[in-house]
Amino acid sequence: MVINGSAVAAVRRSYTAKWFDSLPSDVLSRSLSILRHRLVRGGTGVAVVFYAAVTLYAGWLVVAAAQYRPDTRLFPTLVGTAVLALVGLRVVVPGLRRRLDLASGGLFDNLGPDSVDDGVDETVRTGLVLFGWLALLVSLFRLAGPLVAIAVVTGGYVAVHRGTPRTALLLSLAVTAAVFLLFVVVLDLPGYDPLLARLVEGRL
């Protein structure tokens, strides 16, 4: 029996071509896409960031626990490992759900997006803008104290978002007065020594 070398080579090329079609770069990009789509609903990066942060936190805790005594590290290690396993489950279960009857009963619902959307989630970005205002509030709190921070940020927020300076001023005064009355007068809020005051008085 004569083996046709060229035919074998052709078959090999055919299989090789198929194999090359699924080379690592394509497999990698497809895997990443699947991973992203399994984690993300609506195509946002929020889920990726959230679960990455949870993984990092739990992972750090488990590693850091190793330095402690066995009884001290028992619970952190157990719970941290369980959290890591659950995050991993969150990623692979959509692939397993077709094999598990449990999934049809809704036990693992909402684990992945129903649709693919690579658009930017405007709501997330807009919601994060509020944290910019919060950062300003906290910074002013640190620099000048709570009442000044509240007065400035409340008024500034309303002025910027509603464009009505009068409303901004009124609301700013009202909120500051209410906070002063409730927290300072009635509840005797602990005094705060702002940075600016310390700077001015040379106590820094």
Partner 1 sequence: MNSVAAQVASAPDLLAAASTAADVVFSPVGVAVVVGGALLGMAMGAVPGLGGPVALSLLIPLTFDAEPTVAFMLMAATLGGVNFGGSVTAILLNTPGTAPNAATTFDGYPLAVAGRASEAIAASAVSSGAGALVGLALFALSLPVLTPIALAFWAPEYFWLAVVGIATIAVASRGSVVADVVAGGVGVLLTFHGVSAATGGVRFTLGTQYLEGGVPLIPAIVGLFALAQMAQVFASGESVAGTTTLAGDRAAGVRAALSRWRLVLTSSLLGWTVGVVPGVGGTVANYVAYLQARETDPDGESFGTGNVAGVVASEAANDAKDGGSLVPTLALGIPGSASTAVLLGAFLLHGLVPGPLLLVSNADVVFVVLFAFVVSNVVTSAAGLVAAAPLERVTRVDADLLVPVVLATSVVGAYAVRGRFEDVVLACGFGLLGYAMLRLDVSRVALVIGLVLGSVAEQNFHRSLQISGGEYGVFLTRPLSLLLVAALVAVLALPVLRARNRGRDGDASSPGGE
User: Considering only 1-9, 12-20, 25-33, 61-69, which stretch makes contact with partner 1 by CB under 8 A?
Assistant: 61-69
Q: Is 130 a residue that touches partner 1 (CB under 8 A)?
A: yes
Q: Is 44 a residue that touches partner 1 (CB under 8 A)?
A: yes
- Angle at which helix 46-65 crosses helix 24-39, to 10 degrees, equals 90
How many Å from the N-terminal Cα to the C-terminal Cα in the chain? 95
Q: Is 197 a residue that touches partner 1 (CB under 8 A)?
A: no
Applying the rule CB under 8 A, the residues between 140 and 169 that interact with partner 1 are 141-142, 146, 149-150, 153-154, 157-158, 161-162, 167
The dihedral through the CA atoms of 139, 144, 146, 152 has a sign that is negative
Applying the rule CB under 8 A, the residues between 109 and 128 that interact with partner 1 are 109-111, 121, 123-124, 126-128
| CA pair distance 161, 149, nearest whole angstrom | 18
Q: Is 50 a residue that touches partner 1 (CB under 8 A)?
A: yes
- Contact 143/64 with Cβ under 8 angstroms? no
For partner 1, the closer of residues 37 and 90 by Cβ is 90
- What's the min distance (Å) between Cβ of 65 and partner 1? 8
Nearest to 97 by CA among 86, 107, 83: 107
